[in-house]
């Protein structure tokens, strides 16, 4: 969603702010949308999706093992998201950040 598309929802956003007693003047747009650099398929978006999926995996690993197949399937799906996102990160970003690719994650 770009800034112009977001502006179309201004009244709905203000209504939600009122409903939840949030000062609508305090609502800000930030990041790539605010800079006018929003791209669905940007490297930043892909890396964010991968990071978000990893967080979901850690959360699923903390769940009750009795949930079995549903948890396993959810973890597999999140791993697919990580793989898909990382496979489409530009070669430039991968080569500039090769030292980050082998990062150790711990869910303990």
Res 102 pLDDT > 80: no
Average pLDDT over residues 41-50: 82
Please state the pTM of the whole predicted model.
0.55
Radius of gyration of the chain (CA): 18
Determine the 3-state secondary structure of 57 from DSSP.
Answer: helix
**Average pLDDT over the chain, rounded to whole?**
79
C-alpha 22/C-alpha 7 separation (Å) is 18
Q: Are 38 and 2 in contact (CB under 8 A)?
A: yes
C-alpha 42/C-alpha 47 separation (Å) is 9
What pLDDT is recorded for position 40? 63
Res 72 pLDDT > 80: yes
What pLDDT is recorded for position 4? 83
Q: Are 57 and 75 in contact (CB under 8 A)?
A: yes
What pLDDT is recorded for position 80? 93
C-alpha 81/C-alpha 43 separation (Å) is 14
């Amino acid at each position: 969603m770009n800034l112009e598309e977001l502006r179309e929802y201004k009244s709905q956003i203000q209504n939600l702010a009122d409903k939840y007693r949030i000062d609508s003047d305090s609502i800000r747009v930030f990041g790539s949308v605010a800079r006018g650099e929003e791209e669905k398929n940007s490297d930043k978006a892909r890396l964010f999706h991968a990071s978000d999926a990893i967080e979901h995996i850690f959360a699923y690993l903390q769940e009750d093992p009795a949930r079995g197949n549903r948890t396993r399937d959810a973890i597999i799906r999140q791993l697919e998201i990580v793989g898909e996102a990382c496979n489409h990160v530009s070669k430039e970003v991968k080569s500039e950040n090769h030292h980050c690719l082998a990062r150790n994650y711990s869910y303990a």
